[in-house]
Amino acid sequence: MSPFTGEFTGTALLILLGSGVVANVVLTKTKGQSSGWIVITFGWAMAVFLGVYASNTLGGSGHINPAVSIALAIFGDFDKGLLGTYVIAQLAGAFTGAVIAWLAYKQHFDETADANLKMAVFCTSPAIRHSFYNLTTEIIGGFALLFGALAISKPAGSMGALDALPVALLVLGIGLSLGGPTGYAINKNAHDNPYVMSLGYVAPGGPDSPSTSEASN
């Protein structure tokens, strides 16, 4: 396989499972409706675990996040010549994963009247809207992710699937501890590409558009 295949597949799997667990919790008439924040954080951690493992297995490096690739290219030993390939694969994978998640829950999107809930499947929003503090929370979470990822070193011998466990636990910890104010959009690729997809398929114009307001009333 190739780095492009690995990063594309890993990122697509990340978004499919991550957005999928949010859809299961917030959309109408799902089996997991209203099961809560803990389910979402553990679901996203599992999505990271499986995404990283799939990426590594298929030829990628398990970054599945442009910010991680860029940080490792600047501060680590990641080959800068591969940066463009990785970022493109991650962007395409995120969009693809979001589309597949939408297809899987299409009937439940149709049953859900509140367009803000539908948008929440693909992007985060603050619990209390305040630009400065919302941004501060995201910066703190983002730095926790990047510094944590840089601090995690691979063992001399491969442990197979367990190689992906430290990153998954890192994301779980960030979600449980720092996710309350804004929903921890620490992977901007996991937020921005699905958000773009949702503008066309879920809530045209975004959460504050007239169509969204009408759907929420």
Where are the chain's structural domains? 3-205
Full pLDDT tens readout for the chain, 217 residues = 899 999 999 999 999 999 999 999 999 999 999 999 999 999 999 999 999 999 999 999 999 999 889 988 998 889 999 999 999 999 999 999 999 999 999 999 999 999 889 988 988 889 999 999 999 999 999 899 888 887 876 666 666 667 889 999 999 999 999 999 999 887 766 666 565 655 555 555 544 443 333 333 3
pLDDT at 123: 86
pLDDT at 30: 98
The amino acid occupying position 154 is K
3-state DSSP assignment of residue 197 = helix
pLDDT at 184: 87
The Cα 82–Cα 37 span in angstroms is: 36
* Alpha-carbon torsion (36, 38, 43, 44), positive or negative: positive
Cβ-contact 194, 92 below 8 angstroms: no
Cβ-contact 172, 42 below 8 angstroms: yes
Cα-Cα end-to-end distance for the chain: 49
pLDDT at 172: 96
Fold adopted by 3-205: Glycerol uptake facilitator protein (1.20.1080)
